[in-house]
């Protein structure tokens, strides 16, 4: 779509590519843009990007699993707290009617 270009800037979550035909600079989300929108011509660079991408996927999966586990524990704690609260609340005692 944009033609050939060169990566001119790279961050932990983005790459900026300057395209030859239009001289435009476009910023892409990294690593998802690699393979989806951008094709790397240099085999060694492609290998490095693939390795980094795989590491990011693995790291994100581990972080999501840890977050899910925390949510489960928090939900259990809230349920136990609600149960304890119900037990501690005493039902109102009816007053005896005066004769």
68 in any annotated domain = yes
Residue 92 in any domain: the answer is no
Closest CA to 2 of 28, 34, 32, 24: 24
Rounded to two decimals, the pTM is 0.51
Contact of 18 with 25, CB cutoff 8 Å:
yes
- The verdict on residue 33 lying in a domain is yes
The answer as to whether 75 is a domain residue is yes
Residues 28-75: pLDDT tens digits? 998 788 778 888 888 898 888 888 878 888 888 899 999 999 999 999
Radius of gyration of the chain (CA): 29
Tokens of 46: 């492609």
Contact 2, 26 (CB under 8 A): yes
Is 80 within a domain? Answer: yes
Per residue in 3-39, pLDDT tens?
899 999 988 889 999 999 999 999 999 878 877 888 8
């Amino acid at each position: 779509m944009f033609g050939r270009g060169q990566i001119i800037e790279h961050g932990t979550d983005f790459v900026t590519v300057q395209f030859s035909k239009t001289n435009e600079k476009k910023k892409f989300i990294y690593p998802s843009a690699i393979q989806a929108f951008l094709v790397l011509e240099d085999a060694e660079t492609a290998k490095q990007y693939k390795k980094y991408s795989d590491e990011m996927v693995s790291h994100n999966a581990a972080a999501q699993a840890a977050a899910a586990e925390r949510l489960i524990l928090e939900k259990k704690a809230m349920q136990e707290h609600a149960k304890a609260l119900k037990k501690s609340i005493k039902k109102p005692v009816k007053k005896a009617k005066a004769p």
